[in-house]
Structure 1
């Protein structure tokens, strides 16, 4: 343990520079593609319903140098209540001790949630499949493997098939914030059968719509003949991330088809429509994340559309 390591609450914007600096130092070693900027970090930290005083923690050494930054994303809905713990530790301070302190803080915070909401909780975290040190830390702290995910990529210089929509369905741009409730209902009905689903709230959705990187031309929905929002594909391009990595990439951020409209080709059509939109925006490579055990066959769909695996991650869980 580092001598005189002290923890404190997040101090607001005055802490952003130090946190970004720590993340950049970690990125130089870990290469997780999780670098950030002050504006990106501010957007992430200020998520709706985030308790800034209790859901973020910083640890500093005797010279007030930031050694560890940890945050909890606590689900607003569902039982058991899920808390996703993320933490970054300065490479010179990694021995397992500082990491254990961050995990212990996460457990303590989730126990507070138990008392406040009167419901059971689970603490989650994750690691890259190749990150033996992080995996060792999580397992030594009592976490167990819960799920495997992979990141996939596809070059947009290769031919992209044209989307074919079933009869009666039309491709549209999302109309805007006035239809937020309909979009959120579609999203929740699309992912209700998926692992660890927690309902999206209208408040959170509107927060995301207001962010600088949101582009209406990349927010696609399939509308049924009766006006029902049936499927969606939202793509995202982060100029800051592209500048940071030196790669011209865009994300298929979310893709889904609601109950009652599956197995008729909407998912494939929306995916292909999204790829065409990213290519038209000048993107060279499309990225997507997928649950390796997705019950809807998403992994096979992406592979058939030309995606290939580039990275594996493991999610861990601990009962608190």
Structure 2
């Protein structure tokens, strides 16, 4: 079905007029998330991650930045359930990125305290988040294919079952990969005509434009506007980040890293994490991505890191999975995107 033959987004989204709060008979008081909730909400998220056995930890700074974003309506897009003592026991959120131009997406997320599972709380927050997601999709006014989506680590089987019962199905799979840095680093020279330099603020807009160009033909990727590009950088590691410049000093490749120290205790090792890596179409097939990865491995190792890590879409048509395997990366965890297509 072509975009022009799709029914109107308002019709496809089938958004409710109101999104009622979950039933108080569940034993929780419901309201939007506020900044004051961040410490207690962070503790709740940690409890869920420990119970699910995921190989990472989400820290308070990452939760706090979720409340940023000029496009977000936090009072309507977030929900927290408090017990009789005011302790958060469940939460949910919806985010509709404003830059979407090919598929308009509403991402849903949340969780339930392990001690409160099996009481219907999970079903209630999934129902709330889907209703709100339909509202934001309809309100976008974008006559595009639409998607309600959620990322679920393979370890979180409770969440996977909840989403499946809600009508969501896994549509894409992702692998977390890592490479030891005590092994010899790959020989991946920088191709002629470009130079790899440390990231600097003056390169950031060029990196954003290069990212949008590099991922224009990737499934599930949408352009990021300037506000989206800088959002969610609480763990950004500028000294571990690189850009590739052509002879005109235009950014034609980039590698942005994160420093997720809270994960190191869980995994048992330190690591530099490649959050974003891309090369514009004109420079693909020349070894630039390999050169960026080899260069950042040297940076990570010089800073005492034991591993280099990254994530990859296993069905990526650019051959990224093969590239990473060839450079010594191996899979250590995986996740899936669950979705409802509208």
Task: Give the structure-1-normalised TM-score.
Answer: 0.90
The Cα of 1:294 is off from its aligned counterpart by 0.5
CA distance 1:137–1:214, change in 2 (3 Å): closer
Instruction: Report the equivalent of 2:295.
Output: 273
Give the conservation status (yes or no) of the 8 Å contact 1:9–1:57.
Answer: yes
CA distance 1:20–1:216, change in 2 (3 Å): closer
Secondary structure at the aligned position of 2:282 is classed as coil
The Cα of 1:31 is off from its aligned counterpart by 2.1
CA distance 1:61–1:319, change in 2 (3 Å): farther
What is the number of equivalent residue pairs in this alignment?
A: 316
Alignment of 1:145-224 (within 5 A): 145-176=170-201, 178-207=202-231, 211=234, 213-224=235-246
Instruction: Report the equivalent of 1:99.
Output: 122
Secondary structure at the aligned position of 2:197 is classed as strand
Instruction: Report the equivalent of 1:60.
Output: 82
Instruction: Please report the RMSD computed on the Cα atoms of aligned residues, expressed in angstroms.
Output: 2.2
Instruction: Report the equivalent of 2:305.
Output: 283
Give the conservation status (yes or no) of the 8 Å contact 2:244–2:254.
Answer: yes
Instruction: Report the equivalent of 2:29.
Output: 6
The Cα of 1:39 is off from its aligned counterpart by 2.7
The Cα of 1:290 is off from its aligned counterpart by 0.3
1:303 paired with 2:342, answer: no
The Cα of 1:72 is off from its aligned counterpart by 1.9
Secondary structure at the aligned position of 1:168 is classed as coil
Give the conservation status (yes or no) of the 8 Å contact 1:142–1:318.
Answer: yes
2:96 to 51, 74, 82: 74
The Cα of 1:84 is off from its aligned counterpart by 1.4
Distance in 2 separating the partners of 1:77 and 1:63? 40
Distance in 2 separating the partners of 1:206 and 1:130? 30
The Cα of 1:272 is off from its aligned counterpart by 0.8
Distance in 1 separating the partners of 2:331 and 2:312? 10
Q: Which runs of 5+ in 1 are unaligned?
A: none
Task: Give the structure-2-normalised TM-score.
Answer: 0.85
1:24-70 superposed Cα distances (whole Å, 9 cap, x missing partner): 22122112234233333213332442322122111123443322111
Distance in 2 separating the partners of 1:151 and 1:206? 23
Distance in 2 separating the partners of 1:115 and 1:148? 27
CA distance 1:155–1:296, change in 2 (3 Å): same
Give the conservation status (yes or no) of the 8 Å contact 2:66–2:232.
Answer: no
1:280-312 superposed Cα distances (whole Å, 9 cap, x missing partner): 111111111000001100000101111111112
The Cα of 1:247 is off from its aligned counterpart by 2.8
Distance in 2 separating the partners of 1:51 and 1:245? 35
Q: Which runs of 5+ in 2 are unaligned?
A: 1-22
Distance in 2 separating the partners of 1:42 and 1:182? 27
Give the conservation status (yes or no) of the 8 Å contact 1:110–1:121.
Answer: no
The Cα of 1:243 is off from its aligned counterpart by 5.4
Instruction: Report the equivalent of 1:24.
Output: 46
Distance in 2 separating the partners of 1:36 and 1:126? 14
Distance in 2 separating the partners of 1:52 and 1:245? 33
Distance in 1 separating the partners of 2:229 and 2:200? 14
Distance in 2 separating the partners of 1:237 and 1:129? 23
